[in-house]
Amino acid sequence: MKKLFIAALLFVGIASFAQDGDMDQKPAREQRERLTPEQRNEKQLKKLTSELTLDAKQQEQVKQLLVERSAKAEKLRDARKEQKEKGTKLTAEQKEAFKTQMLAEKEANDAKMKTILTADQYTKWKAIQEENKDKARERMKDRRQDKI
């Protein structure tokens, strides 16, 4: 009887512990609050201002650049969404054209940032970008392993 009682307590304890973990956890995407493009731009501007110590003139120029970049990204996102809704996949040529377009956008953005920032700020900005790229790769790697 004593063993049966201990086994029942152990079972209840394990069952309740297993359920608690599932209740508190949500996918990472649901936990994050959705920001408007303006809020994202403002947040990114504040971060860049603190990391690179931008002056007022640089802040205005970077803000304008962020607005332009987010508008282009929104347009591309809408085009991809529309393509997805149609159920058509991109051909190899379209994928290559898209990659080329994105690379050109990135290079243009880098050139504009180089004109806005000082040499030290630009070097620091490039280092921050590389660090962010590495973090993104790690997150993608973790996501892929989670799916497996």
Whether the per-residue pLDDT at 134 is higher than 90: the answer is yes
Q: What is the mean pLDDT of residues 69-96?
A: 86
- Least Cα distance to 117 among 108, 126, 107 occurs for 126
What single-letter amino acid sits at 45? L
- Indicate the pTM of the whole model: 0.67
137: its two tokens = 């790769």
pLDDT at site 31: 58
Q: Where are the domains of the chain?
A: 37-146
- How far is residue 125's CA from residue 63's CA, in Å, rounded to a whole number? 15
Q: What is the mean pLDDT of residues 13-23?
A: 58
pLDDT at site 110: 93
84: its two tokens = 């997805």
Q: What is the mean pLDDT of residues 55-69?
A: 93
pLDDT at site 36: 87
Mean pLDDT of the chain: 84
Helix axes 37-52, 119-147, angle to 10 degrees: 130
Q: Which residues of 82-108 are buried (b: 16+ CB within 10 A; e: fewer)?
A: eeeeeeeeeeeeeeeeeeeeeeeeeee
pLDDT at site 145: 86
Whether the per-residue pLDDT at 22 is higher than 70: the answer is no
